[in-house]
Structure 1
Amino acid sequence: MKFVRIVLKVLLGLVLFIIFFLAISLAPVDETPYREMPYYAQTKQHLTQLPISPAGRQSLRAGWAKVNITPPYTTPTGGYGERLGKHWHILSDSIFVRAIMLDNGGTKVAVVGLDLVITPPTVAEALKKRLPEVGLRWENLYMGAIHSHNSVGGWAPRLVGQLIAGKYDEKIVNRITDCVLEAIRKAQSTMAPVQIGFGETDATDLIDNRLSSSGPTGPLDGKIRLLELRKNSGESALLCTFAGHPTLFDGDNSNYLSRDYPGSLVDRLEKKTTDFAVFLAGSVGSTAPVPRGKTDFQEIRNYAGDLAVRIERVAPTIQTHPDSTLSILTLPLGLREPNPRVVGNWRVRPWLFYALYGDYPSDLKALRIGQTVLLGTPCDFSGELAAELNPIAAKKGLNLMVTSFDGGYIGYITPDRYYNRQAYEVRDMNWFGPYNGDYFKEMMTGLLEKID
């Protein structure tokens, strides 16, 4: 009997502990409309107070460079899913950081593309401290990533970060940061006057809406967009965005380090179309690629080839011209308390979310180069929301390129009408609660108006 009493006391204590832990760890989802929340008023005020870039004093000058960041040792694979931090052991293709430096005599901007699944928040925080080494601040930097799920990991501490990118290694953060700064320095050393031009072509048939499995969906943004920079020498650079999710390498192929289809595309463009190419993942938050091929390698080659053929048709038609317009805006983004749902309409409390993931500031970015505006987001941004922003930019006579992964990372941002669907994008990867689709769209529209 004494043993039974001990067991019952232990079980009772365990039950009481579980109840206590759940009470301090879980809370109902906060469904207050975003315009009634303090973070909304704060972000609106920040938007109003953003300084306008000074007028250009000369035509645009630009330079570009890339630096190989492939570690000389194996690392965890950064890319969610079945990879679970497994190390790659076969180098399918090298990993780079690519930089384009821009200057109009009044404003300097570096556009940086990383061959990683996202721009690691740890790298963003390191760059905020070290950018003065190259004469820049965080407000002068526009970042993005190719979003390959088979790239270098190890750059994220804490549990959630390690599920995404494997065991944390500070050496990797330092290596990526050092290479970003080196690429910017090299780009600065190659600067010369440039003319700029814009082109686009449709590839909607190469993407599917992943949310369609949970119900009806709207149209996606399926355009390939191209910004060309051309020096008087004839040397050219091409900045390319597209919304296809780079997941042609299956999760069980974590043994390979690869840039997926964006790497194959950039390599082909640099052989046939331009001297230098940068790919930035577009509005990938709702998309899946539509591949063809019997193996992952065939799918990557064929998908990149399909995109390249379309680009090669439109690239010769791009008309370049001198322009001095260059401005950049960085909007600190207020957010609702973390609201990742675990059971029904119950969510994890902020203290537990931050303990598991970390608390990283996030921004929206707007970069205007001539008549083209890039809008950068700290998330997997929905292709449906990007499609809704395109006509807003067109009314202002602006070309729009929406990109994901600008430095922070807050999960997926999708249309609010899907919030209660049982889908990965809106259930597992919505970390900051309801109404963020409309909130992001409103703030990104505000940036378009401010930078016009």
Structure 2
Amino acid sequence: MFPLVLLTVGAAYALGSWNWCGTWEERAPVLLSQVKAAGPLRAGAAKVALNPPFPVVVAGYAPPRAEAKEADPPLHARAVVLEVNGSRVGVVSLELLFVTDSVTARVRELARSSGLEDVLVLATHSHSSLGGYDPRLVSQLVGTGRFREDSLEAIATAASSALQQATASLTDVTLELGETKKPQFVYARSGGSESDGTLRRLVLRGAAAPVAELLFFAAHPTMVPRQRTYVDPDYPGRLSSLRESEGSGVTMLLQGTVGNVSVAFSEGQGMERVSAFARALATAAGEVPLSPMGSDVRLSLVRTEVSMPRPDASRLVPSLTRAAGDNLLCGSSERVAEVDALVLGPLQLVTVPGEPTVDAGAELVRRTGASGVLGLASGYVGYVEAPSLVRAERGESRRQYFGPTLLEQLGAAAELAASTAGFTR
């Protein structure tokens, strides 16, 4: 039997090491869509429960994963619709680990019935939410569990309902904007620059009360214990609910460049610590000084598409299994990715379909003149690290699915999106 086993193992190794990836065509970024307007701003917002098809796997980590039969606290989809001179775009935030191309496409398909010209779809990056919505093999193995069509449909239905309700509540608003530094809330991950610690706050204020509040921050929502048998929105969901109970309007937390929640800053143990951090960040958000920006604004949402570099598993697996690792990544990687630009008044944002590091975000800001960078938007390609750190195998490059040219490719698309959207420096 030994020669047979040896032959079988050798054949499997040879088969796995064959170049199944082939060549990946590289081309210049292309423009997918653009919405541009200027004038008086109207806005509507809504919050809708995201009802998973229980029982569901709890996403966020490699196996073994817990299975959940309920949510505690509930998951939500939150939407803000912006209208200027008849042009309408939506921004929807989902309490998920990440959003995929298929989730984004389904949400946009359903949103057409609300009269929206385009939609930006983002995730809070909660590492304790439901899984089962990503059909890609690597995602199923390391993060989201077995794909289920009903999980995907539940997510898209909640997002669509939130967008419809937000559209129905459109009203005249003024824009207010402010930011502060909260470095004590986050710490740097492996290598690279220190975490940003910037907390930015945007308020859309109606005649009687705020319609919506958008908070921009960057700290991994990994505070919920891994084997908890409930799906959970982590601190972003708790933070949003706290702010909403205080009269802020519908509150979204949008993730920026990568950082981790500072354990030293939060109080208590286990779930107490999650709630304590949410309360502290909610208090800090309420104290951010705001500057009025009026009601006449520029609004732009520009979407671009860029070809991806060939996947590269050299930093992820032992050298003897490099080819097999490349093949596995190739079978689970999209050949194109979306990079977007959003302008709302003085705010100019570039979005990345993954997790940009502080260094990667700084490079995108330098190239585009953006006010900031949002991650976890309109798809997921994994970590995005600065090329110098990828070549040195430092920082988050040990988790990046592509080689050093990834940021260059995404940056070219970001430049096209920013210039089309009318970014000013």
C-alpha change, 1:15 and 1:302, in structure 2 (3 Å) is closer
Equivalent pair of 2:80/2:166 in contact (CA under 8 Å) = yes
Query: Which blocks of at least 5 consecutive residues in structure 1 are unaligned?
Result: 1-6, 31-36
After superposition, where does 1:109-188 map in structure 2 within 5 Å? 109-136=89-116, 140-163=118-141, 164-188=143-167
Residues 63-100 of structure 1: per-residue CA shift (max 9 Å, x gap): 01111013362311111245x44212453200010010
Give the aligned residue type for 2:308. Answer: L
Q: In the alignment, does 2:358 pair up with 1:383?
A: yes
C-alpha change, 1:106 and 1:115, in structure 2 (3 Å) is same
C-alpha change, 1:129 and 1:185, in structure 2 (3 Å) is closer
Q: In the alignment, does 2:343 pair up with 1:353?
A: no
In 1, the alpha carbon distance for the partners of 2:342 and 2:111 equals: 18
After superposition, where does 1:274-285 map in structure 2 within 5 Å? 274-284=248-258
C-alpha change, 1:257 and 1:42, in structure 2 (3 Å) is same
After superposition, where does 1:47-446 map in structure 2 within 5 Å? 53-56=35-38, 58-71=39-52, 73-81=54-62, 84-89=64-69, 91-136=71-116, 140-163=118-141, 164-212=143-191, 217-251=192-226, 253-272=227-246, 274-284=248-258, 287-291=259-263, 292-315=266-289, 317-341=290-314, 342-344=317-319, 346-348=322-324, 352-355=328-331, 357=332, 359=334, 361-390=336-365, 400-420=371-391, 425-427=396-398, 429-446=399-416
In 1, the alpha carbon distance for the partners of 2:36 and 2:362 equals: 31
Give the aligned residue type for 2:302. Answer: L
How far the C-alpha of 1:219 sits from its partner, in A, is 3.2
How far the C-alpha of 1:112 sits from its partner, in A, is 0.3
Give the aligned residue type for 1:289. Answer: V
CA RMSD of aligned residues (A): 2.8
How many residues are treated as equivalent by the alignment? 416
C-alpha change, 1:51 and 1:365, in structure 2 (3 Å) is closer
Larger Rg: 1
Equivalent pair of 2:239/2:278 in contact (CA under 8 Å) = yes
Structure showing the higher helix proportion among its residues: 1
Q: In the alignment, does 2:28 pair up with 1:42?
A: yes
In 2, the alpha carbon distance for the partners of 1:310 and 1:119 equals: 28
> What is the aligned-residue identity percentage?
24
C-alpha change, 1:80 and 1:268, in structure 2 (3 Å) is same
Equivalent pair of 1:273/1:312 in contact (CA under 8 Å) = no
In 2, the alpha carbon distance for the partners of 1:274 and 1:23 equals: 55
Query: Which blocks of at least 5 consecutive residues in structure 2 are unaligned?
Result: none
Equivalent pair of 2:18/2:323 in contact (CA under 8 Å) = no
In 2, the alpha carbon distance for the partners of 1:267 and 1:172 equals: 23
